[in-house]
Amino acid sequence: MAAQPAFPDDTPLNTVLVRETGHGPFQQEIVSGRHHLIADEPRDVGGLGSGPGPYDLLLAALGACTAMTLRLYADRKNIPLKRTSVRLRHGKIYAKDCAECETKVGMLDRIEYVIMLEGDLDAAQRARLLEIADKCPVHRTLQSEIDIRTSEELVGSAK
């Protein structure tokens, strides 16, 4: 595959660029501003295993947002939170097995996450931090209705 021009290091705020690298069937180059990442699928599904998969990146976004939200809240409220860790897992469940879900047919995505709070925290502080965790912006986005619009931009000889 011919060398591709580099993505610019000054992508606009709230814009992420993704493109195939040409290495393996699934490997993707991801650029957000000055930050460059690789996404891929595991070897057991045909990828190179060279980076996190799409759902891993989604979980990472939720985990990072949760930890950042808790840090911001704890600092503002002078709560002695030393460190937050978040362990997440994505899977599919039958809709009929989710009592609190509106959908009752087919499969649903389920994200389970465990938050570990380090610090000299009392029970009330721990409970409040767990409430705040569910208010992180990514959590709210994932639980809300999302309007995704797809379009095409012609490039190269397709113009």
Q: Determine, yes or no, domain membership for 154.
A: no
Range of the structural domain that residue 131 is part of: 54-143
d(CA 147, CA 141) in angstroms, rounded, equals 11
Inter-residue contact 136 to 64 (CB < 8 Å): no
* Same structural domain, 62 and 37: no
Q: Which two tokens stand for residue 99?
A: 């009592």
Report d(CA 116, CA 56) in Å as an integer. 19
Tokens encoding 27 = 């490997």
If one counts the domains in the chain, the total is 2
Q: What is the predicted pLDDT for the residue at 93?
A: 84
Q: Is 74 exposed, middle or buried (0-12, 13-18, 19+ CB in 10 A)?
A: buried
Q: What is the average pLDDT across 96-124?
A: 88
Global pTM value: 0.85
Closest listed residue to residue 134, CA positions, set 123, 125, 142 = 142
Q: Is the residue at 149 inside a domain?
A: no
pLDDT at 71 over 60: yes
Q: Are residues 34 and 61 in the same domain?
A: no
- Is 125 inside any structural domain? yes
Three-state DSSP class for 113?
strand
What pLDDT was estimated at residue 8? Answer: 62
